[in-house]
Chains A and B, each alone.
Chain A
Amino acid sequence: MPSMLDDTDLDARWRAGLEAASELGPAATVETRVALHIAKWRRTRVGAGVAALVVIGALIVGVVISFGGTDSTRVRAVERPPGTPIATVAVVSHPDLTLTAVPQTVPAGLIEIDYSTVGGTHALVIDTDHEYNVISGPDFRLTVPRGDSNSAVGRVYLKPGVYRLHCVIPGHEVAGEQVTLTVT
Protein backbone atom coordinates (compact mmCIF):
# COMPACT_ATOMS: atom_id res chain seq x y z
CA MET A 1 0.00 0.00 0.00
CA PRO A 2 1.52 3.29 -1.03
CA SER A 3 2.24 5.87 1.64
CA MET A 4 2.68 9.59 1.20
CA LEU A 5 6.44 9.23 0.94
CA ASP A 6 6.15 6.41 -1.60
CA ASP A 7 4.76 8.79 -4.15
CA THR A 8 8.20 9.35 -5.59
CA ASP A 9 6.88 9.81 -9.09
CA LEU A 10 5.02 12.95 -8.09
CA ASP A 11 8.06 14.20 -6.20
CA ALA A 12 10.36 13.54 -9.14
CA ARG A 13 8.03 15.20 -11.62
CA TRP A 14 7.60 18.12 -9.30
CA ARG A 15 11.34 18.62 -8.77
CA ALA A 16 11.98 18.41 -12.52
CA GLY A 17 9.13 20.82 -13.17
CA LEU A 18 10.49 23.34 -10.70
CA GLU A 19 13.95 23.13 -12.26
CA ALA A 20 12.46 23.83 -15.68
CA ALA A 21 10.13 26.52 -14.36
CA SER A 22 12.96 28.35 -12.64
CA GLU A 23 14.42 29.11 -16.08
CA LEU A 24 11.20 30.59 -17.32
CA GLY A 25 9.52 33.88 -16.63
CA PRO A 26 7.73 36.88 -17.99
CA ALA A 27 9.49 40.14 -18.63
CA ALA A 28 9.30 42.72 -15.88
CA THR A 29 6.33 44.98 -16.30
CA VAL A 30 6.56 48.72 -16.55
CA GLU A 31 4.70 48.89 -13.27
CA THR A 32 7.33 46.73 -11.58
CA ARG A 33 10.19 48.74 -12.97
CA VAL A 34 8.69 51.99 -11.80
CA ALA A 35 7.92 50.60 -8.34
CA LEU A 36 11.48 49.35 -7.98
CA HIS A 37 12.80 52.62 -9.20
CA ILE A 38 10.80 54.59 -6.66
CA ALA A 39 12.05 52.33 -3.90
CA LYS A 40 15.65 52.76 -4.95
CA TRP A 41 15.43 56.51 -5.18
CA ARG A 42 13.71 56.74 -1.81
CA ARG A 43 16.57 54.82 -0.29
CA THR A 44 19.06 57.33 -1.61
CA ARG A 45 17.07 60.11 0.08
CA VAL A 46 17.54 62.41 -2.82
CA GLY A 47 14.28 64.14 -2.14
CA ALA A 48 10.69 63.98 -3.21
CA GLY A 49 11.10 66.50 -6.01
CA VAL A 50 13.91 64.65 -7.70
CA ALA A 51 12.17 61.32 -7.11
CA ALA A 52 9.01 62.63 -8.75
CA LEU A 53 10.95 63.83 -11.79
CA VAL A 54 12.72 60.51 -12.06
CA VAL A 55 9.46 58.58 -11.78
CA ILE A 56 8.00 60.61 -14.64
CA GLY A 57 11.15 59.88 -16.62
CA ALA A 58 10.95 56.20 -15.74
CA LEU A 59 7.32 56.07 -16.82
CA ILE A 60 8.15 57.63 -20.16
CA VAL A 61 11.09 55.30 -20.70
CA GLY A 62 9.04 52.32 -19.55
CA VAL A 63 6.27 53.11 -22.00
CA VAL A 64 8.80 53.59 -24.79
CA ILE A 65 10.41 50.26 -23.97
CA SER A 66 7.06 48.52 -23.79
CA PHE A 67 5.66 49.86 -27.00
CA GLY A 68 8.71 50.84 -28.96
CA GLY A 69 9.79 47.29 -29.62
CA THR A 70 13.42 47.87 -28.70
CA ASP A 71 15.61 44.84 -28.24
CA SER A 72 16.86 45.91 -24.84
CA THR A 73 16.98 43.17 -22.29
CA ARG A 74 16.53 44.06 -18.66
CA VAL A 75 20.04 45.32 -18.18
CA ARG A 76 20.38 45.96 -14.53
CA ALA A 77 23.15 46.70 -12.18
CA VAL A 78 22.79 46.06 -8.54
CA GLU A 79 24.41 47.49 -5.52
CA ARG A 80 26.48 44.87 -3.84
CA PRO A 81 29.29 46.42 -1.89
CA PRO A 82 30.90 43.22 -0.57
CA GLY A 83 32.92 40.68 -2.52
CA THR A 84 36.14 40.60 -4.50
CA PRO A 85 36.19 42.78 -7.62
CA ILE A 86 37.20 41.17 -10.88
CA ALA A 87 38.16 44.45 -12.54
CA THR A 88 38.91 48.03 -11.65
CA VAL A 89 37.90 51.01 -13.73
CA ALA A 90 39.77 54.26 -13.18
CA VAL A 91 37.31 57.11 -13.63
CA VAL A 92 38.53 60.69 -13.61
CA SER A 93 36.58 63.95 -13.59
CA HIS A 94 38.63 66.63 -15.30
CA PRO A 95 38.53 70.41 -14.73
CA ASP A 96 37.06 70.97 -18.21
CA LEU A 97 34.04 68.89 -17.09
CA THR A 98 34.88 65.77 -19.03
CA LEU A 99 34.93 62.26 -17.67
CA THR A 100 37.31 59.47 -18.63
CA ALA A 101 37.16 55.77 -17.80
CA VAL A 102 40.01 53.30 -18.24
CA PRO A 103 39.33 50.64 -19.38
CA GLN A 104 36.00 51.28 -21.06
CA THR A 105 35.22 47.58 -21.45
CA VAL A 106 35.16 45.16 -18.54
CA PRO A 107 33.83 41.66 -17.90
CA ALA A 108 30.55 41.26 -16.02
CA GLY A 109 30.81 40.92 -12.28
CA LEU A 110 31.80 42.95 -9.29
CA ILE A 111 33.59 46.02 -10.57
CA GLU A 112 35.57 48.46 -8.51
CA ILE A 113 35.21 52.08 -9.52
CA ASP A 114 38.31 54.03 -8.58
CA TYR A 115 37.07 57.57 -8.92
CA SER A 116 39.21 60.64 -8.69
CA THR A 117 38.96 64.31 -9.55
CA VAL A 118 41.41 67.03 -10.27
CA GLY A 119 39.34 69.96 -9.07
CA GLY A 120 35.76 70.84 -8.20
CA THR A 121 32.97 68.92 -6.51
CA HIS A 122 31.61 65.92 -8.33
CA ALA A 123 29.20 63.06 -7.68
CA LEU A 124 29.44 60.02 -9.90
CA VAL A 125 26.53 57.71 -10.66
CA ILE A 126 26.02 54.95 -13.19
CA ASP A 127 22.92 54.21 -15.15
CA THR A 128 22.09 51.91 -17.99
CA ASP A 129 21.79 53.01 -21.54
CA HIS A 130 18.29 51.67 -21.93
CA GLU A 131 16.33 52.48 -18.85
CA TYR A 132 16.39 54.43 -15.69
CA ASN A 133 17.91 51.90 -13.42
CA VAL A 134 20.14 54.36 -11.71
CA ILE A 135 22.96 52.86 -9.81
CA SER A 136 23.18 54.76 -6.64
CA GLY A 137 23.83 54.02 -3.04
CA PRO A 138 26.23 54.60 -0.21
CA ASP A 139 29.06 52.69 -1.84
CA PHE A 140 28.82 53.67 -5.43
CA ARG A 141 27.30 57.08 -5.45
CA LEU A 142 30.77 58.48 -5.23
CA THR A 143 30.98 62.05 -4.10
CA VAL A 144 34.22 63.89 -3.77
CA PRO A 145 34.46 67.29 -2.12
CA ARG A 146 35.95 70.36 -3.69
CA GLY A 147 39.70 70.31 -3.78
CA ASP A 148 42.73 70.00 -6.00
CA SER A 149 42.72 66.25 -5.90
CA ASN A 150 40.25 63.87 -4.30
CA SER A 151 39.30 60.30 -4.74
CA ALA A 152 36.73 57.72 -3.71
CA VAL A 153 36.39 54.02 -4.34
CA GLY A 154 33.13 52.16 -4.78
CA ARG A 155 32.00 48.76 -5.95
CA VAL A 156 29.11 47.81 -8.13
CA TYR A 157 27.91 44.55 -9.62
CA LEU A 158 27.38 44.97 -13.34
CA LYS A 159 25.71 42.59 -15.73
CA PRO A 160 26.53 42.59 -19.44
CA GLY A 161 25.29 45.73 -21.11
CA VAL A 162 26.12 49.34 -21.79
CA TYR A 163 26.23 51.74 -18.88
CA ARG A 164 26.63 55.45 -18.65
CA LEU A 165 28.74 57.00 -15.95
CA HIS A 166 28.03 60.63 -15.30
CA CYS A 167 28.19 63.38 -12.73
CA VAL A 168 24.93 64.41 -11.08
CA ILE A 169 26.06 67.87 -10.08
CA PRO A 170 23.67 70.19 -11.98
CA GLY A 171 25.13 71.25 -15.30
CA HIS A 172 28.08 68.87 -15.29
CA GLU A 173 26.52 66.10 -17.35
CA VAL A 174 25.22 68.53 -19.94
CA ALA A 175 28.69 70.03 -20.16
CA GLY A 176 30.02 66.63 -21.13
CA GLU A 177 30.88 64.93 -17.88
CA GLN A 178 29.79 61.48 -18.94
CA VAL A 179 31.39 58.36 -20.37
CA THR A 180 30.21 54.96 -21.56
CA LEU A 181 31.22 51.70 -19.94
CA THR A 182 30.65 48.44 -21.80
CA VAL A 183 30.28 45.27 -19.76
CA THR A 184 30.71 42.01 -21.66
Chain B
Amino acid sequence: MDADPFDDFYRDGYARLVAAVGLITGSRAEAEDAVDEAVARAWEQIRRHRPIDSLPAWVRTVALNVARGGIRHRAVERRARQRLLSVEDHGASLERHAAAIDARRALAALPRRQREITVLFYFCDLSVQEIAATLQIDPGTVKSTLHRARAALAQVLGDDTTEEEHDAIDA
Protein backbone atom coordinates (compact mmCIF):
# COMPACT_ATOMS: atom_id res chain seq x y z
CA MET B 1 0.00 0.00 0.00
CA ASP B 2 1.53 3.31 -1.05
CA ALA B 3 -0.74 6.05 0.22
CA ASP B 4 -2.24 5.02 3.52
CA PRO B 5 -6.03 5.50 3.42
CA PHE B 6 -6.10 5.08 7.19
CA ASP B 7 -3.98 8.20 7.63
CA ASP B 8 -6.46 10.13 5.51
CA PHE B 9 -9.36 8.70 7.45
CA TYR B 10 -7.89 9.56 10.84
CA ARG B 11 -7.11 13.07 9.67
CA ASP B 12 -10.36 13.85 7.85
CA GLY B 13 -13.15 11.61 9.04
CA TYR B 14 -12.46 9.85 12.31
CA ALA B 15 -13.43 12.57 14.78
CA ARG B 16 -16.60 13.47 12.91
CA LEU B 17 -17.71 9.85 12.66
CA VAL B 18 -17.09 9.26 16.37
CA ALA B 19 -19.12 12.37 17.16
CA ALA B 20 -21.92 11.20 14.86
CA VAL B 21 -22.07 7.71 16.34
CA GLY B 22 -21.94 9.34 19.77
CA LEU B 23 -25.07 11.30 18.92
CA ILE B 24 -26.78 8.06 17.96
CA THR B 25 -25.62 5.95 20.90
CA GLY B 26 -25.55 8.72 23.49
CA SER B 27 -22.05 7.69 24.51
CA ARG B 28 -18.86 9.02 23.04
CA ALA B 29 -16.85 6.22 24.61
CA GLU B 30 -19.06 3.59 23.03
CA ALA B 31 -18.89 5.47 19.74
CA GLU B 32 -15.10 5.39 19.82
CA ASP B 33 -15.16 1.68 20.41
CA ALA B 34 -17.61 1.10 17.56
CA VAL B 35 -15.52 3.13 15.13
CA ASP B 36 -12.29 1.54 16.32
CA GLU B 37 -13.81 -1.88 15.91
CA ALA B 38 -14.86 -0.95 12.37
CA VAL B 39 -11.36 0.29 11.57
CA ALA B 40 -9.85 -2.92 12.94
CA ARG B 41 -12.19 -4.96 10.72
CA ALA B 42 -11.27 -2.81 7.72
CA TRP B 43 -7.63 -3.44 8.45
CA GLU B 44 -8.31 -7.19 8.56
CA GLN B 45 -10.15 -7.00 5.24
CA ILE B 46 -7.29 -5.23 3.55
CA ARG B 47 -4.74 -7.53 5.11
CA ARG B 48 -6.65 -10.48 3.62
CA HIS B 49 -6.48 -8.78 0.22
CA ARG B 50 -10.15 -7.90 0.11
CA PRO B 51 -10.17 -4.39 -1.31
CA ILE B 52 -12.38 -1.66 0.13
CA ASP B 53 -13.56 0.96 -2.36
CA SER B 54 -14.11 3.77 0.08
CA LEU B 55 -12.65 3.36 3.53
CA PRO B 56 -14.70 6.16 5.17
CA ALA B 57 -17.97 4.77 3.79
CA TRP B 58 -17.06 1.19 4.73
CA VAL B 59 -16.06 2.15 8.26
CA ARG B 60 -19.19 4.27 8.66
CA THR B 61 -21.48 1.38 7.75
CA VAL B 62 -19.67 -1.12 9.95
CA ALA B 63 -19.41 1.29 12.89
CA LEU B 64 -23.16 1.88 12.80
CA ASN B 65 -23.78 -1.86 12.66
CA VAL B 66 -21.47 -2.42 15.61
CA ALA B 67 -23.10 0.42 17.54
CA ARG B 68 -26.52 -1.07 16.90
CA GLY B 69 -25.48 -3.97 19.10
CA GLY B 70 -26.61 -6.98 17.06
CA ILE B 71 -28.84 -9.30 19.02
CA ARG B 72 -28.54 -7.06 22.06
CA HIS B 73 -30.06 -4.17 20.14
CA ARG B 74 -33.06 -3.70 22.42
CA ALA B 75 -30.92 -3.27 25.52
CA VAL B 76 -28.42 -1.18 23.58
CA GLU B 77 -31.18 1.11 22.37
CA ARG B 78 -32.68 1.44 25.84
CA ARG B 79 -29.31 2.52 27.23
CA ALA B 80 -28.76 4.92 24.33
CA ARG B 81 -31.99 6.74 25.13
CA GLN B 82 -31.15 6.89 28.81
CA ARG B 83 -27.74 8.34 28.05
CA LEU B 84 -29.10 10.90 25.63
CA LEU B 85 -31.42 12.14 28.36
CA SER B 86 -28.78 12.22 31.07
CA VAL B 87 -25.96 14.59 30.29
CA GLU B 88 -23.22 16.15 32.29
CA ASP B 89 -22.09 19.75 32.17
CA HIS B 90 -19.02 20.20 30.03
CA GLY B 91 -18.41 23.85 30.72
CA ALA B 92 -20.07 25.28 27.62
CA SER B 93 -22.00 28.50 27.70
CA LEU B 94 -25.48 28.24 29.13
CA GLU B 95 -27.05 28.87 25.73
CA ARG B 96 -24.95 26.23 24.02
CA HIS B 97 -25.55 23.79 26.83
CA ALA B 98 -29.29 24.32 26.54
CA ALA B 99 -29.14 23.79 22.78
CA ALA B 100 -27.20 20.59 23.33
CA ILE B 101 -29.68 19.27 25.86
CA ASP B 102 -32.58 20.13 23.56
CA ALA B 103 -30.91 18.29 20.70
CA ARG B 104 -30.20 15.22 22.81
CA ARG B 105 -33.76 15.23 24.10
CA ALA B 106 -35.00 15.40 20.53
CA LEU B 107 -32.66 12.58 19.47
CA ALA B 108 -33.85 10.41 22.34
CA ALA B 109 -37.43 10.88 21.16
CA LEU B 110 -36.64 9.49 17.72
CA PRO B 111 -36.71 5.78 16.90
CA ARG B 112 -33.26 4.38 16.20
CA ARG B 113 -33.52 4.44 12.42
CA GLN B 114 -34.81 7.99 12.35
CA ARG B 115 -32.01 9.05 14.67
CA GLU B 116 -29.38 7.45 12.46
CA ILE B 117 -30.74 9.05 9.32
CA THR B 118 -31.17 12.46 10.84
CA VAL B 119 -27.63 12.48 12.25
CA LEU B 120 -26.16 11.31 8.94
CA PHE B 121 -28.11 13.98 7.07
CA TYR B 122 -27.77 16.98 9.34
CA PHE B 123 -24.52 16.28 11.17
CA CYS B 124 -22.51 14.33 8.60
CA ASP B 125 -23.98 16.23 5.64
CA LEU B 126 -24.52 13.05 3.66
CA SER B 127 -26.89 13.04 0.70
CA VAL B 128 -29.97 10.83 0.61
CA GLN B 129 -28.13 8.52 -1.78
CA GLU B 130 -25.12 8.29 0.51
CA ILE B 131 -27.31 7.56 3.52
CA ALA B 132 -29.13 4.85 1.56
CA ALA B 133 -25.78 3.28 0.68
CA THR B 134 -24.50 3.58 4.26
CA LEU B 135 -27.56 1.92 5.79
CA GLN B 136 -28.13 -0.36 2.81
CA ILE B 137 -31.73 0.71 2.42
CA ASP B 138 -33.81 2.23 -0.37
CA PRO B 139 -33.38 6.00 -1.01
CA GLY B 140 -37.15 6.38 -0.88
CA THR B 141 -37.11 4.95 2.64
CA VAL B 142 -34.44 7.48 3.60
CA LYS B 143 -36.57 10.34 2.28
CA SER B 144 -39.75 9.23 4.02
CA THR B 145 -37.91 8.50 7.27
CA LEU B 146 -36.21 11.89 7.12
CA HIS B 147 -39.55 13.53 6.62
CA ARG B 148 -41.02 11.78 9.64
CA ALA B 149 -37.95 12.63 11.70
CA ARG B 150 -38.24 16.30 10.74
CA ALA B 151 -41.87 16.37 11.77
CA ALA B 152 -40.99 14.79 15.10
CA LEU B 153 -38.11 17.24 15.61
CA ALA B 154 -40.39 20.16 14.91
CA GLN B 155 -42.66 18.87 17.65
CA VAL B 156 -39.86 18.54 20.17
CA LEU B 157 -37.85 21.63 19.24
CA GLY B 158 -40.66 23.67 17.82
CA ASP B 159 -41.58 25.88 20.74
CA ASP B 160 -41.44 28.78 18.32
CA THR B 161 -42.62 26.83 15.28
CA THR B 162 -46.09 27.84 14.18
CA GLU B 163 -48.94 25.51 13.46
CA GLU B 164 -48.73 26.53 9.80
CA GLU B 165 -45.15 25.31 9.68
CA HIS B 166 -46.15 22.04 11.28
CA ASP B 167 -48.81 21.68 8.61
CA ALA B 168 -46.26 22.45 5.90
CA ILE B 169 -43.87 19.81 7.21
CA ASP B 170 -46.60 17.27 7.48
CA ALA B 171 -48.01 18.10 4.06
| Contact digits for B113-153, partner A, Cβ 8 Å, 1 yes 0 no | 00000110011000000000000000000000001001001
Q: A79 — nearest CB in chain B belongs to which residue?
A: B40
Cβ–Cβ contact B39 & A80, under 8 A: yes
Q: What per-residue 1/0 map shows which CB atoms of B97-111 lie under 8 Å from chain A?
A: 101111110110000
> Are B104's CB and A10's CB within 8 A?
no
Contacts A2-B168, A22-B123 given: A28-B4 contact, CB under 8 Å?
A: no
Question: Contact at B168–A4, with CB atoms within 8 Å?
Answer: yes
B147 interface neighbour in A4, A25, A80, Cβ under 8 Å: A4
Contact check: which of B26, B32, B99, B107 meets A78 at CB < 8 Å? B32
| Residue B7, interface by CB 8 Å | yes
Q: Which residue of A lies closest to B119 (CB)?
A: A18
Given A28-B27, A74-B29, are A10 and B36 neighbors across the interface (CB < 8 Å)? no
Interface centre among B40, B158, B165 (most CB of A within 10 A): B40
B152-171: CB near A (< 8 Å → 1, else 0) gives 01100110010011001101
Knowing A23-B90, A78-B36, the reply to whether A2 touches B165 (Cβ < 8 A) is yes
Residue among B32, B103, B150 making CB contact with A76, cutoff 8 Å: B32
The answer to whether B99 touches A20 (Cβ under 8 A) is yes
Q: Which of B4, B20, B83, B157 contacts A84 (CB 8 A)?
A: B4
Flag if A22 contacts B22 (CB, 8 Å): yes
In the bound complex, residues from chain B placing their C-beta under 8 Å from that of A78 are 32-33, 36
Residues A26 and B92 in contact, CB atoms below 8 Å apart? no
Q: What residues of B have a CB within 8 angstroms of the CB of A2 in the complex? A: 164-165, 168
Q: How large is the interface on A (under 10, 10 to 19, 20 to 34, 35 or more residues)?
A: 35 or more
Q: Which of B19, B30, B119, B153 sits near A10, CB closer than 8 Å? A: B153
Residues of B within 8 A of A7 (CB): 150, 154, 161, 165, 168-169
The minimal Cβ–Cβ distance linking A39 to chain B, given in whole angstroms, is 8
**Which of A1, A6, A24, A32 is close to B29, meaning CB atoms less than 8 Å apart?**
A32
> Is B23 part of the binding interface, using a Cβ–Cβ cutoff of 8 Å?
yes
> Is the CB–CB distance between A4 and B36 below 8 Å?
no
- List, in ascending order, chain A residues with CB within 8 A of B83's CB: 25-26
Known pairs A18-B23, A83-B10; A23 contacts B100 (CB<8 A): yes
Residues of A within 8 A of B27 (CB): 25-26, 28, 32
Give the residues in chain A near B88, CB-CB below 8 Å: 24-27
Q: Please determine whether A18 and B103 come into contact, CB atoms closer than 8 angstroms.
A: yes
Task: Determine whether B112 belongs to the interface, using a CB cutoff of 8 Å to chain A.
Answer: no
Q: Closest Cβ of chain B: how far from A161's Cβ, in Å?
A: 14
B1-44: which residues lie under 8 A (CB-CB) from chain A?
A: 4, 6-7, 10, 19-20, 22-23, 26-30, 32-33, 36, 39-40, 43
A-B contacts, 10 of them at CB < 8 A, read A1-B168, A7-B150, A7-B154, A7-B161, A7-B168, A9-B161, A10-B157, A13-B99, A14-B153, A26-B26
**Sorted from nearest, which 9 A-B pairs have the closest CB atoms?**
A17-B103, A82-B6, A20-B100, A21-B103, A22-B19, A28-B29, A21-B100, A78-B36, A2-B168
A residues with a Cβ closer than 8 A to B are: 1-4, 6-7, 9-11, 13-29, 32, 36, 74, 76, 78-84, 137
B residues contacting A by CB (< 8 A) are: 4, 6-7, 10, 19-20, 22-23, 26-30, 32-33, 36, 39-40, 43, 79, 83, 86-88, 90, 92, 96-97, 99-104, 106-107, 118-119, 122-123, 147, 150, 153-154, 157-158, 161, 164-165, 168-169, 171
